[in-house]
């Protein structure tokens, strides 16, 4: 474990190339992430995940995916069911809070059934961003709603459902992407809200879930805290807000290094991510030249980052005994009457 580098890498397709295997073997990423381009059929996903772990010689290496439901669902029908968005769960909550919370837990428990079968053990869920009027649709219906406390409650239920299935959640996008007026995949959102507004709204769900083991950063500038750097690369935001105000002491990974909210070459971005205080550099697109630039900047896990990574690894549990068919029927029963 101590040899692992502080990075999570993607792959270019459904089967690892010889170059990818060599890179992973030599550079030893701590974990991996899957996208739609890596998905063909169930047995192929299992084989890919096993090959990733084999390349680093760690059968417990974290393998992540964004399997939220709605428009962010990397594994889709016919391999798994088409699941509803967070906004649909939020609408159910507004009708009946108890049913909404149960549905959020159930959806995550169903994700765990689907994902654990193919060896994926981390779901980048829940989305704890709280949109405001006029914000970019990059979050949109991925959010549970506009009330920070409701978002936190539903997010907590979602996180618990994953853990009941033996998986771990990743909160995103800390300390909050809801006010972004631009899509951070393409440009850098700048948020001018006061510190007081942010503390009373955007940061609330993250504070409610501050004891979770992993979180993903937001590529957003908060001018009230650091007008020069997005949260992902800002020592001020990470130390003062994420570690301080919010009180999150878990493993902090960057959002994707290749997103164009970040400026400079991939290597420069990775260097700033590592230098700003993120524990792990996340690079998703599987482009070999970009991955080579990231591995040049990623350091071996050590100190607090290593401690947090070890806590994550010890946090994977056995799935609770559960009747999958009954839970699926219960979940879809909620949705059919909503």
The catalytic site residues sit at 185, 255
Instruction: Scan for tokens 């509803």, then name that residue.
Output: 84
Q: Is 265 exposed, middle or buried (0-12, 13-18, 19+ CB in 10 A)?
A: exposed
- Please count the CA atoms within 13 angstroms of the CA of 98 that sit on its side-chain side: 0
Q: Where are the beta strands (DSSP E) in 131-191?
A: 168-169, 171-174, 190-191
Coil, strand, or helix at residue 331?
Answer: helix
Instruction: Scan for tokens 């981390």, then name that residue.
Output: 122
Q: How do strand 67-69 and strand 72-73 relate by DSSP bridges?
A: antiparallel
Q: Are 179 and 148 in contact (CB under 8 A)?
A: no
Give, rounded to a whole angstrom, the gap between the first and last alpha carbons of the chain. 46
| Cβ atoms within 10 Å of 172's Cβ, excluding its own | 26
d(CA 111, CA 127): 15
């Amino acid at each position: 474990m101590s040899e692992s580098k502080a990075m999570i890498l993607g792959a270019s397709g459904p089967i690892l190339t010889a170059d990818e295997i060599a890179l992973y073997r030599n550079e030893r990423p701590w974990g991996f992430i899957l996208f739609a381009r890596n998905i063909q059929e169930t047995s192929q996903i299992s084989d890919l995940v096993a090959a990733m772990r084999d390349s680093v010689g760690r059968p417990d290496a974290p393998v992540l995916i964004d399997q939220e439901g709605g428009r962010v669902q990397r594994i889709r029908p016919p391999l798994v069911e088409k699941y509803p968005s967070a906004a649909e769960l939020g609408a159910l909550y507004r009708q009946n809070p108890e049913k909404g919370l149960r549905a959020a837990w159930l959806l995550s428990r169903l994700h765990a059934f689907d994902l654990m079968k193919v060896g994926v053990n981390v779901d980048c869920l829940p989305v704890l961003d709280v949109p405001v009027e006029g914000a970019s649709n990059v979050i949109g219906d991925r959010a549970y709603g506009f009330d920070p406390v409701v978002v936190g409650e539903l997010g907590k239920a979602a996180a618990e459902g994953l853990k009941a299935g033996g998986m771990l959640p990743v909160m995103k996008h800390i300390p909050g992407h809801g006010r972004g007026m631009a899509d951070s995949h393409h440009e850098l959102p700048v948020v001018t809200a006061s510190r007081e507004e942010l503390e009373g709204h955007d940061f609330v769900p993250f504070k409610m879930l501050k004891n979770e083991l992993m979180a993903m950063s937001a590529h957003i500038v908060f001018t009230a805290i650091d007008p020069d750097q997005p949260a992902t690369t800002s020592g001020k935001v990470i130390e003062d807000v994420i570690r301080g105000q919010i009180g999150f002491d878990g493993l902090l990974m960057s959002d994707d290094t290749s997103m164009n909210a970040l400026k400079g070459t991939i290597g420069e971005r990775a260097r700033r991510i590592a230098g700003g205080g993120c524990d792990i550099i996340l690079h998703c697109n599987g482009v070999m030249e970009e991955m080579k630039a990231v591995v040049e900047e990623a350091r071996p896990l050590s100190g607090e980052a290593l401690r947090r990574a070890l806590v994550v690894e010890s946090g994977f549990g056995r799935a609770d005994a559960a009747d999958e068919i009954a839970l699926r029927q219960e979940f879809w029963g909620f949705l059919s009457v909503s």
